[in-house]
Homo-oligomer: A and B are copies of this chain.
């Protein structure tokens, strides 16, 4: 199973006086960070602090655009027009690019957050809006997209460098998308379940859905969540398991990704 794999995580999700997640610990474990850009979480100061730390830890950074909904942490579906959604995403990517200059880092990938990501997995017009925003701002941005989703297809259609993504700690639905967070048991907080899902995903190219269906998945990157208290333990277990299986963990910008 000797291969390259990326581990990504949503980060920099504090805001002002508020802190959340354990970025310091996670930055030692993961290889790419999805950085909140001030809409669903994050503010310019939080973003600045984070990129400086990511630089030090050799973690590549990506823009993590979300809905403008701090109270909902970007997890509420908001029905915007696709073009308004597109410019909102472009705005957030640019904001992070500017803050990244402080660390001398380039923003190398884009991944949608929360409800925005979920909607874009399922809806072609939203997926295309995200892909266009990414391509317009920087055609070299890697498009981190859930395997088999509308996002995945949109990235390929626009000729973006797509990194196909799978989840370590979220249960799948039968269609290969994520089962809703609103249902009990869809967020895995124990390392063992997450590791088992990852190993099968990497080793056999499949996951078992909430209803027991075997779903095909091919992934370049494994997502672990950062806002659960259990995140560092789960992430570390996933990393160890991947390395134990012979994988090399790389930042997204160091991987060979076809366009």
Q: Which of A85-93, A212-220, A233-241, A249-257 contacts B (4 or more CB under 8 A)?
A: A85-93
- Residues from chain B with Cβ under 8 Å of A95 in the complex: 91-92, 94-95, 98
Q: Which of A42-50, A169-177, A190-198, A202-210 contacts B (4 or more CB under 8 A)?
A: A42-50
**CB<8 Å pairs between A and B, sample of 15:** A18-B18, A18-B19, A44-B88, A45-B71, A68-B69, A70-B70, A71-B84, A72-B78, A76-B79, A77-B77, A78-B78, A90-B101, A94-B95, A95-B95, A97-B97
| Distance between Cα atoms of A88 and B44 in the complex (Å) | 5
Q: How many copies of this chain does the complex contain? A: 4
Q: Is A158 an interface residue (CB 8 A)?
A: no
Determine which residue in A16, A20, A43, A96 has the highest number of CB atoms from chain B within 10 A of its CB, and name it: A16
Proximity bits, A180-202, B CB within 8 Å = 1, else 0: 00000000000000000000000
- For chain A, residues 85 to 144, give those with C-beta under 8 angstroms from any C-beta of chain B: 87-88, 90-99, 101-102, 115, 136-137
| Nearest chain B CB to A120 CB, angstrom units | 15
A78's closest neighbor in chain B, by CB? B78
| Distance between Cα atoms of A44 and B82 in the complex (Å) | 12
| Distance between Cα atoms of A44 and B37 in the complex (Å) | 14
